[in-house]
Amino acid sequence: MKVPNNFLWGAATSAYQVEGAATTNGKKPSQQDVINKDSYKEFGFATAEIASDEYHHYKEDVALMKEMGFTSYRFSIAWSRVFPDGTGEPNPEGVQYYHDLIDELKAAGIEPIVTLYHYDLPWALVERYDGWIDRQVVADFEYFARFVINEFKDQVKYWTTINEQSIIVQYWTQKCYIPEEYLDGKHNQLRYQINHHMNLAHAIACNLVHELVPGGLVGAPLGYAPVYPLTGKPEDVMAAQNAQALRNDYYTDIYFKGFYNKAAQTYLEQHGLAPKIEPGDMELIASGKSDFMAVNYYASECAKWCPDDGTHEMRWSGVNRSGKKGEMSGYETHPGFYEMCKNPNLDTTDWDWAIDPIGMEYMLRDLYNRYNVPLMITENGLGAYDTLTEDGKIHDPYRIDYLSKHIAAMERAMDKGVEMIAYCPWSAVDLLSTSNGVKKRYGLIYVDRTDDDPKECKRVRKDSFYWYQRVIATNGEELGYDEWK
Backbone CA torsion sign across 138, 143, 146, 152:
negative
Whether 79 contacts 140, CB under 8 Å: no
Give the Cα separation of 141 and 120 in Å (integer): 12
Angle at 84 between CA 107 and CA 163, to 5 degrees: 65
Whether 431 contacts 383, CB under 8 Å: no
Residues annotated catalytic, as ranges: 164, 379
- 248 sits in the region (left: phi over 0; alpha: psi -120 to 50; else beta) called alpha
Burial (CB count <10 Å: 0-12, 13-18, 19+), residue 392 = exposed
Burial (CB count <10 Å: 0-12, 13-18, 19+), residue 13 = buried
Task: Output b/e per residue, 355-374; b: 16+ Cβ within 10 A.
Answer: bbbebbbbbbbbbbeebebb
Backbone CA torsion sign across 467, 416, 114, 442:
negative
Cα dist from 104 to 35, 95, 321, 387, 433, whole Å: 31, 14, 37, 30, 26
Please list, in sequence order, all residues whose beta carbon lies within 8 angstroms of the beta carbon of residue 353, skipping any fewer than 6 positions away. Answer: 298, 299, 383
Give the Cα separation of 191 and 189 in Å (integer): 5
Give the Cα separation of 193 and 277 in Å (integer): 9
Q: How many CA atoms lie within 13 A of 331 on its CB side?
A: 17
Cross-strand partners of 22: none
Cα dist from 251 to 170, 261, 318, 443, whole Å: 13, 8, 21, 28
Q: How many CA atoms lie within 13 A of 151 on its CB side?
A: 21
Closest CA to 81 of 105, 61, 58, 108: 58
Strands 445-448 and 458-461: antiparallel
Cα 90 from chain centre: 26
